[in-house]
Structure 1
């Protein structure tokens, strides 16, 4: 287990935070530091066709060791960390034989990881946990996945008695800012299907995710001296507020779960004459997703109609951009790839937790790019913040699942 810990720590202590405001790929130059390290490591453990392209995508191949035809499978993880919380100067802490009590992350700042709030901690009593020091995120999302893929490939190289077909691996940049699949060369990758190792709790197996759209609305207004404004002033901030009030109050992230979709206002800024509102639309059902977009269009059309005479032109400018779609429609025709992963877990005594993702995944976009790609647990919890942790035993189980999938795929 120490080998897993050492490898994981060697990754998370390299700052790879991505930047949504950058126009380059990778979005931050520091992501190259880990990308180059991973490419060299793949070569060292014995993979072939190792490459790193000009966008920092790292690929490698573990050749087949069987004579019969076997589908080529792949495993994918991302090496960037979220810009939501700092990933600089990560100082992991090792908690051995966790006793089920509070974990003091940072005594000086009184930052405590407590099972009274994070109840999932109690699932891992007696296990070894890796936590933060309370000042940064950990980076298990998704350096745990990278650790698992790398360790599984190393194990298969060292144990040729385990039969498998050709296995492709890829480590990608900028997943956390929605660009992880932007420059993914599916043809070069050459797999029949793949799995992202990017889930959370042990046992998670996911092949459904939200349909997603981003919405930007610019409300215009007219500024007039407030002492003489009656019938003349149009305050764009108040228009934006009226629009937000028309969104269903029980269809927000904090009021929904499971397959329930939502509208989520993510930003608002402005003045009397110009106010911008940003929101996201999410729904697992494509018809409901389209209906949500249409509802926003209809509300904005009513604003424009109401103020057309007074303002003289459209008072609200709407932009809706689809971001990704539910990969279920691409996975269902090849459900055997989910069944193989499910069987691998069952063979290892892991209870599969098959549920929809209330978010997105590179696997969704890759599925629509011709590479069906369900998502498998990587073991971490409380991603994107100072309370993030990962049980080492969960990482070991994920490694075992990768190896077992390789074995099952190679069966005649």
Structure 2
């Protein structure tokens, strides 16, 4: 971390209200050159709102933002970028049909007459990739890249604008361990360049591996800011939750019930899944792990009727719902929802939500086939609203 005593960014008594409800109150936060400052807290603690204020997406209700020792207002995301604040969020902002280099300089003024100076773009893209030690080819199309490679391109896109501040929001989500280590190496490069990094994560090990300091949020308040070396994992959880934790990972004593799902000799089309057998009983959690692209996600998708199954058998509550040898196939998203199975996709924007519809409509979407919601043609909005409001309570 830089030895300068002047922070790149200071937030002074920042508060934010939405419709009379306070989500941030009197937040004080500093970021220094070459520092990784982690922000940690439970869901709903205010992390996202704070980052939205820093990146110009929303405005604070009160308080001061001081950048490079000058008080100012960040009116928009575009203004934040002009001021040297770049962000990489969980959701990708890349155009799949364009190349890496075209995405890096999307919206830039690198033109020759009326046309893009493609030679210059390629040279600049190569320089950025080399600087970050990325092996991705600038001429490769985004649609052909892995999830991890897309994440790296997002970071390169933010880096090429020569920011003084980089915001990384859950950057290791869906990354394998080797890819995470590559990301950490890149963050070390940012630190050496004197860039201040705001790092948001739920993974405590990451905080201790790369962060210099940590700010802990609880219910919209800063409960502590300190060097990571001064806060152990148990204290970190206690500060974030507001509860005394006597055992960080207590043994859960619970009797397992009857078999709910039984998968035998599963083969899934267009994946690495071959001859996989798993059974799930009531009251237990079965973890499936593996590197990105290993096929772990395909198992859940196949059981929900999203991915095509080539061979194997699947039973649900002792009823055979798929058997390739007997040509039994009673698996579809609608059928599995009716049986009581839910599927939460990793890509919420692309597969989990309809972004053009409101929250109420998204919540009720899986239930539209039920008679109390609809007659098959018209949705009963009053019943929909009443049920969704009860869920919200």
Structures share fold, TM-score greater than 0.5: no
State the TM-score bracket (shorter-chain normalisation).
under 0.3
TM (norm. structure 2) is 0.22
Greater relative CO (CA pairs within 8 A, separation 6+) = 1
